[in-house]
């Protein structure tokens, strides 16, 4: 089982699994050369999930429902906001490609939020 540290004081900042070689995973994450980030034996984000899937035992599986208040949706879909992440990873898209797909939405969010900024 993989934990993303929700329910702690550092959600999504710490993650782990009993089978994980943290040093190897940190090295794999640093090879992504993500701007502004250096991974130590802890990491976050879609790149982390991709690396966990690649590094994990053959039996990697997403957690099944129920999850908190929801009894039908997959827990990762609730956290991500849709089933798109699971589909993209299953299709072999890497974290960089997935993150690049957010560009238009991020730009639109920035445009909308502009009118609410007071300084």
For 90-103, what is each residue's pLDDT tens digit? 999 988 888 888 88
| Structure confidence at residue 99 (pLDDT) | 83
Given the structure tokens 């899937």, which residue do they identify? 53
| Structure confidence at residue 43 (pLDDT) | 37
Is residue 84 over pLDDT 50? yes
Q: Distance (Å, rounded) from C-alpha 90 to C-alpha 14?
A: 24
| Structure confidence at residue 83 (pLDDT) | 94
Q: Distance (Å, rounded) from C-alpha 82 to C-alpha 84?
A: 5
Query: Which tens digit of pLDDT belongs to each residue from 6-36?
Result: 666 666 666 667 677 778 888 898 999 988 8
Query: Which tens digit of pLDDT belongs to each residue from 34-81?
Result: 888 888 767 346 777 888 888 877 777 888 999 888 899 998 888 788
| Structure confidence at residue 59 (pLDDT) | 72
Closest CA to 47 of 60, 35, 29: 29
| Structure confidence at residue 44 (pLDDT) | 47
| Structure confidence at residue 26 (pLDDT) | 84
């Amino acid at each position: 089982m993989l934990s993303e540290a929700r329910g702690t004081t550092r959600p999504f900042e710490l993650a782990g699994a009993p089978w994980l070689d943290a040093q190897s995973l940190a090295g794999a994450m640093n090879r992504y050369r993500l701007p502004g980030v250096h991974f130590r034996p802890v990491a976050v984000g879609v790149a982390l999930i991709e690396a966990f899937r690649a590094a994990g035992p053959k039996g990697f599986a997403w957690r099944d429902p129920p999850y908190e208040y929801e009894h039908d949706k997959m827990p990762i879909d609730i956290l991500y906001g849709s089933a798109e992440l699971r589909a993209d990873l299953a299709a072999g898209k890497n974290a960089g490609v997935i993150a690049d797909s957010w560009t238009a939405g991020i730009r639109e969010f920035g445009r909308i939020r502009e009118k609410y900024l007071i300084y």
